[in-house]
Amino acid sequence: MIIEEIKRDENFIKEIRHALHIHPETAYEERWTSDFVAKKLQSFGITVHKGLAKTGVLGILKSGYSHKSVALRAELDALDIKEQTNLPYKSRNESKMHACGHDGHMAMLLAAAKYLAKHKELFDGTIYFIFQPAEENEGGAKRMIEDGLFETYKIDSIYGLHNWPALEEGKIAISKGAVMASYDNFEIEILAKGSHAAHPEHGVDPILIASHLITALQSIISRDIGALENGILSVTQLHSGSTWNVIPDSAILRGTVRTFKKEIQDIIEERIKTLSDSITKAFRANAKVDYKRLYPATVNNYIETALKSAKEVVGEENIVTNFPPSMGSEDFSFFLQKKRGCYVKLGTKKRDSENFMLHNPKYDFNDNVLTIGASYWVKLAINELKNSSH
Ligand SMILES: [Zn+2]
Ligand SMILES: [Zn+2]
């Protein structure tokens, strides 16, 4: 059941969501957003600490005498996308947009914070409300940890939630193990030898080598990892040459790798390096490979409290425990590498209007789930602090 008082507060929650949607800001520049969130938390009587990971905001709400604690996380950042909607609360920041629904995530967490601050008798312990910057690409979660989040504050467990347009509105997907993939990028520079295009025998053609290499890279997923494992290797950029009649002296390939397991990630990285090295050598050129591991896989290590709390809000029939993991990635993974917790997907598939996926310029967060998400956070915090098995 959605909490009655939160239901009555629905318009307030919507207003917050729309205000945030108008003012999208990207990685580490979320100053307006950060101030807005901090002021709201303070207005609910919640202690606010700022400065973690530059624009990060931490709300701290304590009640009773227990030393137990739980952290709930939302993201502050938007994307570099030009919004293509006609909404009255359309983005006013040129080419920035809340196209991942982080505006909705903030609104739901703020609504939960407001309710919990008003009902401190319902829990015993400390609730941390984490509003992290730079989830998209820049790894704000990692920076919060580096800035001492877990040393400065005694946080026992941590929870995340993401709206999910591919899942029916009002359903919640919760499963143990990997739910989002790891995210790595690679760059391969092929150092060859330029020549007149009419005399390729005087040079070493990096474009021909790149073509062989791209084909070979696509054998990694199909030949080097088991059929029951998962992995993606996409070459997304190929740059070389600038005219018709010159063979260039180098080429650059760039791409991304997604997996769920470190063992598979290790195999892919090793194979990219070996193939790049040996194929370029076979053609009398050299390769410089730069492989960067950005986000690890998001692996849920404790789902019991999330399951119980979600059931209390949407009912057992709306819990999906076998939802397939996503090949997308999420920096919440860094938190789960350190703490007990779980990341759930809240279904937002629109029933009455066209449904757009995350990062689409026509996407808009589904306001119908605001009170569901806020109620879930409230139940989760209360249940987790009650939990005596830890
Ligand atoms: Zn996103
Ligand atoms: Zn997101």
pLDDT at 137: 87
- Closest ligand relative to 99 C-alpha: 1
**182 CA from centroid of ligand 2 (Å):** 15
Give the ligand whose atoms come closest to the C-alpha of residue 73: 2
> Would you say 79 and 97 are in contact if contact means Cβ atoms under 8 Å apart?
yes
Q: Which residue has the tokens 């996407």?
A: 363
Identify the burial level of 51 via C-beta atoms within 10 angstroms of its C-beta, where 0-12 means exposed, 13-18 middle and 19 or more buried: exposed
Residue 21, pLDDT score: 98
285 alpha carbon to ligand 2 midpoint, in Å?
Answer: 41
Ligand 1 center to residue 370 CA distance, Å? 18
**What dihedral do alpha carbons 365, 369, 372, 374 form, nearest 10°?**
30
For residue 105, the ligand closest to its alpha carbon is 2
The reply to whether domains 4-179+297-386 and 183-295 share a CATH topology is no
Distance 384 CA to ligand 1 centre (A): 27
Helix intervals (H) in 119-172? 140-146, 149-152
The architecture of the domain spanning 4-179+297-386 is 3-Layer(aba) Sandwich (3.40)
Q: What value, to the nearest 5°, has the Cα angle with vertex 248 and ends 202 and 272?
A: 105
Q: Where are the domains of the chain?
A: 4-179+297-386, 183-295
**Distance from the alpha carbon of residue 121 to the mean position of ligand 2, in angstroms:** 33
Is residue 83 within 8 Å of 97, Cβ to Cβ? Answer: yes
Q: Which CATH class is domain 183-295?
A: alpha beta
Cα 314 to ligand 2 centre (Å): 22
* pLDDT score of 354: 87
pTM metric for this prediction: 0.92
Interhelix angle for 370-386 vs 304-314, to 10°? Answer: 140
Ligand number, closest to the Cα atom of 137:
1
User: Which amino acid is residue 297, in one-letter code?
Assistant: A
Could you tell me the distance, in angstroms and rounded to a whole number, from the CA of residue 135 to the centre of ligand 2? 7
**Which 3 state secondary structure label does DSSP give 124?**
coil
Distance 75 CA to ligand 1 centre (A): 10
CA of 205 to the centre of ligand 2 (A): 42
pLDDT (0 to 100) of residue 388: 58
Å from CA of 348 to ligand 2 middle: 13
Tell me the CA–centroid distance for residue 39 and ligand 2, in Å.
Answer: 23
CA 7 to ligand 1 center in whole angstroms:
27
Report pLDDT for 353: 84
Residue 351 has a pLDDT of: 83
At a CB cut-off of 8 Å and minimum separation 6, what does 148 contact? 52
What is the Å distance from ligand 2's center to 287 Cα? 35
Sign of CA dihedral 10, 106, 374, 314: positive
172 C-alpha to ligand 2 centroid (Å): 16
Q: Give distance in angstroms: CA of 267 to centre of ligand 2.
A: 28
Each residue's pLDDT, cut to its tens digit, for the chain (390 residues) gives: 999 999 999 999 999 999 999 999 999 999 999 999 999 999 999 999 999 999 999 999 999 999 999 999 999 999 999 999 999 999 999 999 999 999 999 999 999 999 999 999 999 999 999 999 999 989 999 999 999 999 999 999 999 999 999 999 999 999 999 999 999 999 999 999 999 999 999 999 999 999 999 999 999 999 999 999 999 999 999 999 999 999 999 999 999 999 999 999 999 999 999 999 999 999 999 999 999 999 999 999 999 999 999 999 999 999 999 999 999 999 999 999 999 999 999 999 988 888 999 999 999 999 999 999 999 999 999 999 997 555
Q: Report the relative pairing of strands 246-247 and 47-50 from DSSP bridges.
A: unpaired
The whole-number pLDDT of residue 180 equals: 97
Tell me how far the alpha carbon of residue 252 lies from the centroid of ligand 1, in angstroms.
Answer: 27
Residue 115: predicted pLDDT? 98
What would the two tokens of residue 67 be? Answer: 């030393």
Question: How big is the chain, counted in residues?
Answer: 390
Query: What pLDDT shows up at residue 387?
Result: 76
Q: What is the CA radius of gyration of the chain?
A: 24
Strands (E) in 51-181, as ranges, are: 57-63, 69-75, 125-132, 157-168, 172-173, 177-180
23 C-alpha to ligand 1 centroid (Å): 16
Ligand 2 centre to CA of 20 (Å) is: 15
